[in-house]
Amino acid sequence: MQFRITLNPTRMKKIPNRIVIYAKDVEKITGRKPRTCYAILQKIKSFYNKQRNDFVTVKEFCHFLNIDEELVKEYLVD
């Protein structure tokens, strides 16, 4: 018995881009060491009055460092 698989492009879901940025991402983007990247994220959290366990979004990261959001999203593909 053979099975035939057909894909329906109209029903396929597109995976959304990530909206959260992590220290490892900051390392790839800036080329800085891990400790410096954690410090950058802490400065961003402080700037936006976020709590310790809150996430930093890509938009906040880009705004804070004045980097184009599309450039950053290229590095987030994993």
| 36-60 tens-digit pLDDT | 999 999 999 999 999 999 999 999 9
DSSP state of 20: E
**pLDDT (0 to 100) of residue 74:** 83
Domain count, the chain: 1
Q: Is 7 helix (H, G, I), strand (E, B) or coil?
A: coil
pTM higher than 0.85: no
Buried b (16+ CB within 10 A) or exposed e, 9-20: eeeeeeeeeeee
Q: Look at residue 41 and tell me if it is in a domain.
A: yes
Q: Look at residue 6 and tell me if it is in a domain.
A: no
pLDDT tier, 31 (very low <50, low <70, confident <90, very high otherwise): very high
Q: Look at residue 40 and tell me if it is in a domain.
A: yes
> What range defines the domain where residue 46 resides?
20-75
Residue 20, strand partner residues: 57
